[in-house]
Structure 1
Amino acid sequence: MGGTNHTDREPAREAAAPPAIAAAGPAARACEAEPIHVPGSIQPHGALLVVDPRDGRVVQAAVGAGGAGAVAGDPLGRPLAEALPPGAAPLLRDLDSRLPDAGVVHLGLMRGGEALHHLLAHRSEGAIVVELERALASEPGSFDDVYPHVRAFLDRVQRVRDVAELTALAAREVRRVTGLDRVLIYRFDADWNGEVIAEDRNDRLPSYLGLHFPAADIPAQARDLYRISRLRLIADAGYVPAPIEPPVNPLTGRPIDLAFAVLRSVSPVHLDYMRNMGTGASMSISLMRDDRLWGLISCHNRDPATVPYHVRTACDLVGQVLSLQLAADEASAVADRRDALRMIQNRLLARMAAADHYVDGLIASGDDLLALAGAGGAAVATGGTVVRIGATPPERDIRAIVAWLSARERLDVVATDSLVAAMPEAGRMKDLASGVLAISTSQIHDSYVLWFRPEVIRTVTWGGDPRRHAEPSADGARPSPRTSFAAWQETVRLRARPWAPPEIDAAGELRTAIVDIVLRKAEETAALSERLTSINKELEAFSYSVSHDLRAPFRHIVGYAQLLKKYEGERLSERGNRYIDTIVESAISAGTLVDDLLGFSQMGRATLTPVAVDMDALVADLRRRMEADTHDRNVEWRIEPLAPTRADPIMLRLAMQNLIDNALKFSRHRDPAVIEIGSTETADETIYRVRDNGAGFDMAYVGKLFGVFQRLHRVEEFEGTGIGLANVKRIAERHGGRAWAEGRVNGGATFFFALPRR
């Protein structure tokens, strides 16, 4: 992604959707297939040595002009320590043990000839890759020299909550510490097209603020590299690469993977792209949202320029902080939206439950039904009738949409912001139904609730004609990127405003309410709906009171009691000190009880996010974390291969953690303690079990086990709040499953929970 000196606006073009640029012709496909992680060369401002970790000898090497003074003679076949100046030896000590599985380690500065070099290393396909990057005479000697700039950014970022202001702040800070001509914040959309949402620059390069760039400008393999390695520098777009000799790594029989290499050479197509846009140097910093690439901090300079290593480290930290802040702000906005929609859901549920038929309740709540999905119109199609609310297509067109939905694989929720893309005849409905969100309320009949959004005509300004991403070069040797980046406008039609994830989730939860509650328990729900509303308000008030009013006093009790013992303990009797210990222990126990109670109250209101869950990996991770607390015990683990499932991973992890904690606690007095974990699949459900050989329980009291605050053993024997098993039961039931237990006194216990296989 880059910039240009062109600022003219070309005529607008109309399209039904943003163009699919990347899949155009052979040149574009060649860009996508280029193996950019194995370029076979490096940028020339340093040197790269590939070392066999078994004997420490250099098996491949590339020495650029900037690394000539740091590598003595031909390094191939020589021990690494002999190939480098004597001053490098202390930096290379225990090198193999210091390197992580992924990522680059900065070993320090070394002098090679008349120049200083940064010594860096990382692992690649069983080899050790050592890089020597030429250092500038005037660059910061350590990260401490640039930290004050980063600290100033951290102080300011805490006070910013608007995405535009946050990204503008980051662009300004990165340009300030690097001194480059232009810094852009670039955000990807769902189709990997990019948009410049913030910019800071001088007059040496033109503005790109607000411009869009096609997905093919940064093909899939390049995005994958940005995800793996967060920072990349190209100091001179006109550089002559230094080849790696020999080209094939003798350890693997293929070219060395340079995904993590700081000096990695880049695609010649990308260098052409940079030169076409008038850029002599560039640096990119990845912005992540969880494990997905959210965008880039893209830096440009008109002339070749080097950004010192420690300055790049500071910029990388700015990128990480910006990523975390953007993710937090986005999560907060989504949470607020979900809370607002949940209130609407509660009102809809109350009216549906009170009505003789759920359709009557939805019609009576027309405004809420529209607000639930942020739609202009809605319709309920069931039993051969269609009821319309708000701005909707005619009934015949709604029936055509229902027929199209029924002909597809029946899904619980269907959402599209371009109905015409899947249903060409829907073009006539564009003014009312360019976008459709639908839920199926029956697995047998054609019953649907549908929401509609009208066409939103919008103009997208691209940085150059996106159809001209790449064309064959004159000699046919490689693709040639477009030469013009003049602002090129496109009018997008036949698309509605996209449905947001909270809206789609809210529609899915409404479907669950209709199918699982309203249709089967309408009379019971009608009687309880008003009471549930009151209870929810009381529970929210109680949760607030607990979190803000009870936690602090318990902390104060613990803190002051410990202070009393520290400063006055010598003057107290043994009994007095024992009393203080009892106060501290009781206050800590009460605080834990408050936390557990809060977790239990929130469990019933949390939104389920079902995904495929690898139960083997989940249990292995839990066991690894718990072994730290059981290292002094003889615990025998018997874990069978576990069937995978689809559930909310956070809730499922909590359920399994509670059961394993329970098993470890009640088998404390056994040597060995035997913990068995397994699963069984039936036609309808997957059953998981956790068995121990501990204290067990009397089956006459099994009904009390999963109740809140229910305990079958004295707290003096086994600690706990009596809420863990209640959480397991609630989690299973939230997924439509069940929980139960079997046991006998001093004969161990087995706890089961089952999840539906649908």
Structure 2
Amino acid sequence: MNIRSIVNKDNVNLLNCESEPIHIPGCIQEHGFLIGLSADSLLIRYCSENVLQFTGFTHTQLLGKPLQTICSAEEENMLRNFLAAAQFDQSQPFSFAVNNVNYNTKPHISNSTVILEFEPFPDGSLDLPNLYRQTQQFVSYLNVAQDLRQLCHSIAQETRAITGYDRVMIYRFDKNYNGEVIAEAKREDLLPLLGHNYPHTDIPAQARALYLTNMLRMIVDVDYKPVPLYTIADEREEKQLDLSQSILRSVSPIHIEYLKNMGVKATLTISLIQDNRLWGMISCHHYSAKNIPHYTRLSTLLQGYFFMSQIKVRQAADEYKYAQEIEQQIQPLLELMTTSDNFIEDHFNNPLLRDCIKASGFVIIYNDVIYRNGNVPGDNHLLPLLKWLRKHASGGQYTTDHLIEVYPPADELSDTVAGLIYHALDSEGRNCVIWFRPEMEKSINWAGNPSKAIVMDADGARLSPRKSFELWKEVVKFFSLEWAAPEQAVAARLANNFQKQAHLADIRREETRYKQLAAKLESANAELENFNWISAHDLKEPLRKIQLFASRTFYSEVSIDVYKESLIKIQTAASKIQLLLDSMLSFATMSKTNEGFETINLNNTLSQVLGKYRKEINAKEAVITTDALPHISVLPYQTEQLFSNLISNSLKFSKDDVPLKLNVTYEKTRYYHVISFADNGIGFHNKYADIIFKIFQSLNYKGNQSNIGIGLAICKKIMDNHNGSISADGQEGRGAVFSVSFPV
């Protein structure tokens, strides 16, 4: 039988460690032994070299043999039942007895190989954790912790209490996987590492990928001697054994050297994962060799699960709390936006526009005008930046806290612009909003100089990981304060509201213009239609009569009486034409007055009009009552014409056999002076309430030929000139009420 080692003998150094295949080292740590079984037959396919000291058999004696060679038939059947289950219970290890020594064994499958890792109980007993107490303790931490960092500190303290490691740290990675120690629990004599940062090169990409696959990794003693794995040399067998899920997996020699340079002898790490990304780690360090039993590891892993369940919740809670604070700040802005007709021009300098998201400056460019608020660069710097943003802002949005990284001219703008949020308000970006933040120099506390993560040995023979982890401060320039998620959300919300404001302002301007044009056009069309009607109908009728009666006078046999009658009818028709022409001229000139508004006493105006119609009033035996009228600003001549037409209308359409009663009343509302003229005349049906105000639209009661429907149309025109209104309410046979409303 040809037996061979599967140790990965590729030369690993600091120049190629990024591609080191750490999941297939082909060797394990020496505090336990490993056996790999064929999944179908349970024959031993792989075996670690150190089995002799644990089992009494050499690896050459065990390869190709059944599992019962080192355990009982009952234990083998127990394993078969475990493998036959639909899902493995990874929390429950097997307890195998080999030569009367108990071992924890956590089976898992790698491709077609069942991997058994045998670890003797470190303290000789199965130490079951008090999960109830641990859960209760975690809940108490949740109730006490005000934020994520405080919860991290409690988790670090509890993890150290569970495991007994000298130092427990919680790392948090940034977007580039640089790690920061955000919580720490340690022996009192150890120097603190809280706040120290570690470069992303300390944990290569393939190591981060392995942390996602296997959440727990333990190194019992950095001075261990790697134990090689052996297999039977057969081309049908797998050449490598994937140990990604193995707890005994040997560690990269580069990482071992790194830990030795730190002075660390044993480690335990728990991955903290969020959204399939490595958020951070719980990292336990011990300064002497240390092994902990399975259930203690499980308790530590449970701490990681507890904490992971809270990361997103706490981050969301922190963001929500901050978002609520911002929301309270922007409410006055949002209310102004809904009530202001021109928010951009009237309120662009409101300090809340920048303060709500902790910006130092704010700019809005609208209709080629730049509105500045706070600390903003001058046009010589702003205009080129705008041009660049319009070109590079994907989807009309751009956010950065390190502008110089993408825009080199920003080196001259650090006092005003090191970071910005940009939102276009239209597809071309001609209208836009920008928030600015200046440079905020900050110091980063690195654990050793990150630029010297690889150093040359003193003899110059080889490269090695850095040996110094003393505090090394780096001053970072040209960065602004990072924009928080709630700040970016509020900026987008305000930009959206600005966009709506701009669109509404444009729409309102166009709407007002179109309404004014439409009103003028409608009025002109209505007048033109009526003028056309007069020309086509009302003027033709008296002209036809003139022609008819004039033709009768040409016959010699016409009597003098017929001749006189024809002349009288011709004169009547000519008078009708004159009346129509005068009315048309009166209505037309009512729209084009040079008269100015004056504050007058309407009581005097009403008295003058009543005096003008005294003869008609006496003839009708009319009883007229009036309220005291106000002093208001009006067009005096037109107001007199208004009163005159309304009183004339009441006199004209009074009942023949009933004395006229006319009541002039006054009421002041919030917006109008309302004067009403109510009579007991013949009235009209309310379906004509709108028609009677149109020019030359007359109901012609009693065959009154002098009524051509111009008086009320002129009243309507007068009230339009005063930005007021006129209305009518009638009842046939019972009278009518005409109300005019002058704006207060």
AA at the equivalent of 1:117: Y
Compute the RMSD of aligned alpha carbons: 3.1
| Partner residue in 2 for 1:324 | 309
> Which sits farther off after the overlay, 81-90 or 471-480?
471-480
SS at match of 2:464: strand
Q: CA 1:496/1:95 → structure 2, altered by over 3 Å: closer, same or farther?
A: same
Q: 170-179 vs 333-342, which deviates more?
A: 333-342
1:389 aligns with 2:376: no
Q: TM-score, normalised by structure 1?
A: 0.61
- Partner secondary structure for residue 243 of structure 1: strand
Structure 2: segments with no counterpart, 5+ residues = 1-11, 510-744
Kindly indicate whether the alpha-carbon contact (under 8 Å) linking 1:249 and 1:255 is maintained by their aligned counterparts in 2: no
The question of 1:363 aligning with 2:333 is answered no
2:501 to 518, 522, 535: 518
In structure 2, distance between residues paired with 1:519 and 1:487: 53
Q: Within the alignment, does 1:34 sit opposite 2:20 as a pair?
A: yes
1:212-237, Cα deviation, whole Å (9 max, x unpaired): 11111111221222222111110000
Runs of 4+ in 1 over 6 A off after TM superposition: 247-252, 472-478, 523-526
Residue correspondence of structure 1 range 534-683 to structure 2 within 5 A: none
Q: In structure 1, the residue corresponding to 2:395 is in which secondary structure?
A: coil
Conserved 8 A contact 1:43-1:265: yes
Tell me if the contact between 2:45 and 2:232 (Cα under 8 Å) persists in the aligned partners.
no
Match of 2:359 in 1: 375
Contact 1:70–1:112 (CA under 8 A) maintained in structure 2: no
CA–CA distance in 1 between the matches of 2:139 and 2:359? 40
**In the alignment, residue 388 of structure 1 is paired with which amino acid?**
R
What do residues 285-326 of structure 1 show as CA deviations (whole Å, max 9, x unaligned)? Answer: 122234322211111111111011111111111121122223
Label 1:207 to 1:337 Cα distance change in 2 as closer, same or farther (>3 A): closer
Question: In the superposition, relative to structure 1, how do residues 265 and 154 fare at CA in structure 2: closer, same or farther (>3 Å)?
Answer: farther
- What is the Cα deviation at residue 336 of structure 1? 2.5
Contact 1:62 1:242 in 2 (8 A): yes
> Are positions 1:79 and 2:66 aligned together?
yes
Q: Is the 8 A contact 1:353 1:523 kept in 2?
A: no
Residue identity in the other structure for 2:75: A
Match of 1:44, SS state, is coil
Aligned-partner SS, 2:260: helix
Shift of 1:465: 0.9
Q: How far off is 1:261 after superposition?
A: 0.9
Cα deviation for residue 114 of structure 1 reads 4.4
1:391 Cα deviation from its structure 2 partner: 1.4
Q: Answer yes or no: is the 8 Å Cα contact 2:52–2:58 preserved in 1.
A: no
Identify the match of residue 143 of structure 1 among 129, 151, 171.
Answer: 129
1:599 alignment partner in structure 2: none
Which residue in 2 is equivalent to 1:481?
Answer: 465
Aligned position for 2:299? 314
The equivalent residue for 1:61 is 47
Letter paired with 2:44: V
The separation in 1 between residues aligned to 2:74 and 2:458, in whole angstroms, is 49
Quick one: distance in 2 between partners of 1:362 and 1:66?
84
Partner of 2:666: none
Q: Which structure is richer in relative contact order (CA contacts within 8 A, separation 6 or more)?
A: 1
Query: 2: distance between equivalents of 1:116 and 1:301?
Result: 26
Q: 1:286 aligns with which of 257, 268, 271?
A: 271
**Preserved contact between residue 185 and residue 298 of structure 1 (Cα < 8 Å):** yes
Report if the CA contact (8 A) 2:91-2:298 is conserved: no
Contact 1:51–1:60 (CA<8 Å) still a contact in 2?
yes
Report sequence identity in percent.
30
Q: Is 2:79 the counterpart of 1:92?
A: yes
Aligned amino acid, residue 164 of structure 1: R
CA distance in 2, matches of 1:285, 1:461: 24
Letter in 1 for 2:447: G
Equivalent position to 1:260, from 242, 245, 249: 245
Amino acid at match of 1:262: I
Equivalent residues of 1:235, 1:306 under 8 A apart:
yes
Judging changes above 3 Å, is the alpha-carbon distance between structure 1 residues 111 and 185 closer, same or farther for their aligned structure 2 residues? same
The question of whether the paired residues in 2 share the 8 Å contact of 1:87 and 1:110 is answered with: no
Cα distance, 1:143 vs. partner?
Answer: 3.5
Equivalent residue number for residue 12 of structure 1: none
Cα distance change on mapping 1:92 and 1:250 into 2, 3 Å? farther
Alpha-carbon spacing, 1:48–1:384, altered in 2? closer, same or farther (3 Å): same
Match of 2:203 in 1: 218
Give SS of 2:194's match. coil
> Equivalent residue for 1:165?
150
| Alpha-carbon separation, structure 2, partners of 1:476 and 1:248 | 40
Of 108, 113, 120 in structure 2, the residue corresponding to residue 127 of structure 1 is 113
Quick one: which amino acid aligns to residue 311 of structure 1? T
- Any conservation in 2 of the 1:415–1:436 contact (CA below 8 Å)? yes
**SS of alignment partner, residue 399 of structure 2:** strand
Task: Render the CA deviation track for 1:133-158: whole Å, top value 9, x for unaligned.
Answer: 221234443334x6535543443443
1:383 & 1:524 partners in 2: Cα distance?
A: 14
Answer yes or no: is the 8 Å Cα contact 1:37–1:259 preserved in 2.
yes
Q: Give the 3 Å change call, closer, same or farther, for CA 70–176 of structure 1 in structure 2.
A: farther
Residues 65, 54 of structure 1: alpha-carbon distance in 2 compared, 3 angstrom cutoff: closer
Change (3 A) 1:225 1:473: farther
SS in 2 for 1:246: strand
Q: Is the 8 A contact 1:28 1:216 kept in 2?
A: no
Per-residue deviation, 1:271 = 0.5
Quote the offset at 1:110 in angstroms.
Answer: 1.8
Mapped partners of 1:411, 1:248: distance in 2: 59
Query: Partner of 1:351 in structure 2?
Result: 336
Residue of structure 1 in register with 2:662 after alignment? none
Find the structure with the greater CA-based Rg: 2
Secondary structure in 2 aligned to 1:400? helix
Q: Secondary structure of the residue that 1:170 maps to in structure 2?
A: helix
Q: CA deviation at 1:83?
A: 4.6
Q: CA deviation at 1:253?
A: 3.8
Native 8 Å contact 2:51 2:58 kept in 1: no
CA distance in 2, matches of 1:403, 1:470: 43
The amino acid that maps onto 2:103 is: H
Structure 1 position 189, deviation (Å): 1.6
Question: In structure 2, how many angstroms separate the alpha carbons of the residues matched to 1:263 and 1:307?
Answer: 13
* Alpha-carbon spacing, 1:409–1:150, altered in 2? closer, same or farther (3 Å): closer
Letter in 2 for 1:178: T
Secondary structure of the structure 2 residue equivalent to 1:433: coil
1:446 aligns with 2:435: no
Structure 1 residues 475, 38: closer, same or farther in 2, change over 3 A? farther
Change (3 A) 1:226 1:112: same
Shift of 1:353: 4.3
* TM-score when normalising by structure 2: 0.62
Q: 1:447 to 1:520 in 2, by over 3 A?
A: closer
Residues 52, 251 of structure 1: 8 Å contact kept: no
The alpha carbon displacement at 1:414 in A equals 0.7
Unaligned runs of 5+ in 1: 1-25, 527-758
Give the Cα separation in 1 of the matches to 2:429 and 2:145: 51
1:27/1:459 Cα in 2 relative to 1: closer, same or farther (>3 Å)?
A: farther
Q: Give the counterpart letter for 2:435 in structure 1.
A: W
| Number of matched pairs | 497
The separation in 1 between residues aligned to 2:49 and 2:347, in whole angstroms, is 72
